[in-house]
Amino acid sequence: MSAPASPTTPGRESAMLPLRTTPPLLLGRGARLVERNVLAYRQAWLVFVSGLVEPVFYLFAVGVGIGGLVGAVEVAGRGEVPYGVFVAPALLASSAMNGAVLESTFNVFGKLKWGKLYDAILVTPMQPRDVAVGELTWALMRGGIYACGFLLVAWLSGLVVSAWALLALPAAVLIGFGFGGVGLLVTTYLKSWQDFDLITMALLPLFLFSATFYPLEVYPAALRPIIYLSPLTHGVTLVRSLMLGDLHWALLGHAAVFVVMGLVGLRIATRRFAALLLT
C-alpha cells in the first residue's frame, strides 16, 4: 500500500494549485502582490512598529505635554474638550495620510525604478491594474494596523470619549485610500529620489495647516477657505467628529472626498503603470 501524500508531495501541491491560481473576488490577481509583500515584511516586523511610534510621540508631546498648558479647546457642536482629546483624532488622520503616501510613493518607486520588481511580475498573468490594486491594498493594510495601534494607545491614555470612536478606524483607512491612490499616481511621474523632497514639501503644510492643532475658527477669515481646500482638513474633521461622537450628515461629504481621490488616483495610476511597464 502506498503511503499518503505528505505536505511536500506533488499530490498535495496539485490539490492546492487551484486555490493558489484562482484570484480572489475583490482584489483579483492583485492579492498575489499583497501576499508577496506580507512574506517580504515577515522578517521586518519592526518596520510596522516604527510606523506607529511617530504619531504616538506626537500624541504625548503635543496632546499631553502642550495640552497641560493649553487646557480645554472650544469645538463647534461639542463645547469645550481637553486639548489632548481635540488633537488625538487629527494625529490619527495625519498618520493615515503619511503612512499611505510613504507606502505608495517611496516603497513603490523603489520597486518600479530600482528593483524592477514589476517588470518581473508582468511576465506572469498579472496586469498593471493588478499591480496598482495590490500595492494600494497593501498600503491600506499597513495603515489599518497603525490606526488600530494608535487608537488603542489613545484609549489607554483616556483620550477617547465616545464609543463612536470605533468608526474612526474605517475612516482612517478611507483617508489612506484617498491619499494612497493619489500617491500611486504621483509615483509614476517621479524621476529620481530627489523628487521626494517635493512630496515632503507638500505633506508638511498639510500636516500643520489642516485644523490639526487648533480649530478652523482660529485662522483669519481670509485663510479659512484655503485651509478648507486641504484634503487633510476633511480627514481631520471626519475623524474628530467620530471620536467625539458628533455624527451628522455632512460627514458623508467629507468621506466622499477620499472616495473620489482614491478612485481617480487609482484609475489614472493604472494607465500610467501600463504606459511605463508595457512599452
17 has pLDDT over 80? no
DSSP string, 235-251: HHHHHHHHHTT---THH
E strands within the chain? 72-75, 79-82
181 has pLDDT over 50? yes
d(CA 52, CA 37): 19
Global pTM reads 0.86
Tens-place pLDDT, residues 55-114: 888 888 887 778 777 878 888 767 788 998 999 999 999 999 988 998 899 889 999 988
Tens-place pLDDT, residues 18-66: 444 444 445 678 888 888 888 887 777 777 677 778 788 888 888 777 8
d(CA 172, CA 236): 10
List the one residue out of 260, 204, 207, 210 whose CA is nearest residue 233: 210
Mean local confidence (pLDDT), 224-253: 93
Tens-place pLDDT, residues 195-222: 899 998 999 999 999 989 988 888 888 8
- N-terminal to C-terminal alpha carbon distance within the chain: 56
d(CA 72, CA 84): 9
How much is the pLDDT for 80?
85
Name the percent of the chain lying above pLDDT 90.
42
For residues 258 and 177, the answer to whether their CB atoms sit within 8 Å is yes
Question: Between 43 and 267, whose confidence is greater?
Answer: 267
How much is the pLDDT for 77?
67
169 has pLDDT over 90? yes
Distances (CA, A) of 55 to 58, 66, 170, 225: 5, 15, 18, 27
